[in-house]
């Protein structure tokens, strides 16, 4: 299926964002570890969270998490800590290509029994649960923060205190701090000093929890406001957030988008005061914003250099390669002179006609490129249903804002083919 998107008559509107899947997934693990019966309010309704919830509440011995990377990492640690469990975790073809060795090795050092079913260093995994020991481990800081968070979330139930030393630069540190903050909220004894984290044995306190809206999802509305100048009210979006992607409110000021917070959420308003000067950012803490920022800058004619994004190569797609290939269809030549960066210096190429964006089975590719319809007569998005991974009602929200979306399902009636 492909969606045809046009945006000649967009307008201001109110948007209810999905709940944060990052917070939801952590809350689910904490709730399961605590054996809590208290509710989680406003739990994210998306593929990743539903897969994780089903695995935690089911009795399957083989768990297929599809493309849900968070579920793969968090469930690996969770089941490794559950005495008597014996499960195999597998996933999509792409998931079986995403490395997991740093997490497995760290868990083995703590006493876990984990075997590779297929290729060494990659899922599927067979996990036999046991009481983990704790102690001192060292992990590289430039790996997925989910590896570190996965271990932290189960650490209060280890036999002795866990001490983690992170070596080198630390990627996605806000996500680690999100985990620590949520653990403390539920009564865990956890501290971080620079690259050292310490967790003492102390069970979580069962209690209800309320999930805040997703700032990653909000980033697409900052993008849209920057491109069309309209105002958008994002219901219940908090001024103070656990989410690193809340930095989009600061980055968007460079495009002239301001944020006014009140008790009902946030109102985004655009002005003509945005800068067209080249943008230089290090997104080591917020790599999920890279696609949104890169495409917005290019559509505004703003040169950019984005660093600190080496881990984008092992996401749902190789996001750096995907951005380079799909931006070229819009007429922009992005380059990656080093593995951790993406650059656009203004170089252009011929625009594809029609513009058909391949999502690379990546939800953020679909959502970051769709607003390009504001600058082109039409945009086609292939495999648009991938947004269900994090923002299932994204397309209906675009329609609420005046985007026109039509679709063709077969080659015979698809004018794009």
10 Å CB burial of residue 195 (0-12, 13-18, 19+) is: middle
| Of 45, 46, 40, residue with least CA distance to 26 | 40
**Pairing outcome for strands 125-128 and 113-116:** antiparallel
DSSP 56-109: HH---SEEE-TT-HHHHHHHHHHHHTSTT-EEEEE--TTGGGS--HHHHHHHHH
Please report, for residues 327, 340, 359, 387, the alpha-carbon distance to residue 410 in angstroms, rounded to integers and kept in the order given. 25, 39, 18, 20
Of these residues, 288, 340, 358, 397, which one is catalytic?
Answer: 288
| Biggest alpha carbon–alpha carbon distance for the chain | 63
276 is catalytic: no
Cα 132 off chain centre by:
29
Integer Cα distance of 45 and 48 in angstroms: 9
How many angstroms separate the CA atoms of 204 and 186, rounded? 5
Burial letters for 202-215: b for 16+ Cβ neighbours within 10 Å, e otherwise?
bebeeeebebbbbb
- What's the token pair of residue 80? 């490794």
**From the centroid of its chain, how far is CA 312?**
11
17, 177, 217, 244, 403 from 22: Cα distances, Å: 14, 12, 12, 10, 28
Contact predicate 231/225, CB 8 Å? yes
- Please tell me the distance from the alpha carbon of residue 308 to that of residue 339, in angstroms, as a whole number: 9
* Catalytic sites, residue numbers: 288
């Amino acid at each position: 299926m492909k969606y045809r998107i046009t945006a000649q008559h967009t307008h201001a509107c109110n948007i209810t964002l999905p709940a944060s899947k990052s917070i939801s997934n952590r809350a689910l693990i904490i709730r399961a570890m605590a054996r809590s019966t208290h509710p989680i309010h406003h739990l994210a309704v998306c593929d990743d969270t539903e897969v994780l919830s089903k695995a935690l509440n089911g009795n399957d011995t083989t768990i297929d998490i599809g493309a849900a990377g968070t579920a793969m990492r968090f469930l690996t640690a969770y089941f490794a800590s559950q005495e008597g469990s014996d499960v195999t975790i597998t996933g999509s073809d792409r998931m079986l290509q995403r490395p997991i060795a740093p997490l497995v090795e760290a868990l083995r050092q703590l006493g876990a029994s984990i075997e590779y079913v297929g290729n060494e260093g990659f899922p599927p995994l067979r996990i036999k649960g046991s009481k983990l020991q704790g102690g001192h481990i060292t992990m590289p800081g430039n790996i997925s923060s989910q590896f570190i968070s996965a271990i932290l979330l189960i650490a209060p139930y280890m036999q002795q205190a866990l001490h983690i030393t992170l070596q080198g630069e630390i990627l996605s540190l806000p996500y680690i701090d999100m985990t620590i903050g949520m653990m403390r909220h539920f009564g865990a004894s956890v501290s971080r000093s620079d690259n050292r984290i310490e967790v003492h044995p102390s069970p979580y306190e069962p209690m209800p929890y309320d999930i805040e809206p997703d700032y990653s999802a909000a980033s697409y509305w900052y993008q849209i406001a920057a491109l069309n100048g309209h105002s958008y009210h994002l219901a219940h979006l908090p001024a103070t957030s656990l989410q690193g992607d809340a930095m989009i409110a600061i980055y968007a000021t460079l495009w002239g988008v301001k944020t006014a917070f009140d008790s009902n959420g946030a109102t985004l308003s655009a002005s003509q005061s945005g800068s067209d000067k080249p943008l230089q950012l290090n997104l080591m803490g917020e790599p999920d914003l890279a696609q949104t920022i890169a495409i917005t800058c290019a559509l505004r004619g703003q040169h950019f250099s984005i660093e600190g994004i080496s881990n984008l190569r092992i996401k749902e797609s190789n996001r750096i390669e995907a951005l380079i290939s799909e931006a070229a269809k819009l007429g922009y030549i992005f380059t990656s002179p080093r593995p951790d960066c993406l650059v656009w210096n203004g170089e252009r190429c011929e625009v594809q006609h029609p513009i058909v964006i391949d999502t690379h089975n990546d939800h953020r590719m679909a959502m970051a490129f769709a607003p390009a319809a504001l600058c082109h007569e039409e945009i086609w998005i292939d495999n648009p249903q991938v947004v269900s991974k994090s923002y299932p009602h994204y397309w209906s929200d675009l329609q609420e804002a005046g985007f026109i979306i039509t679709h063709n399902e077969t080659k015979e009636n698809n004018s794009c083919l």
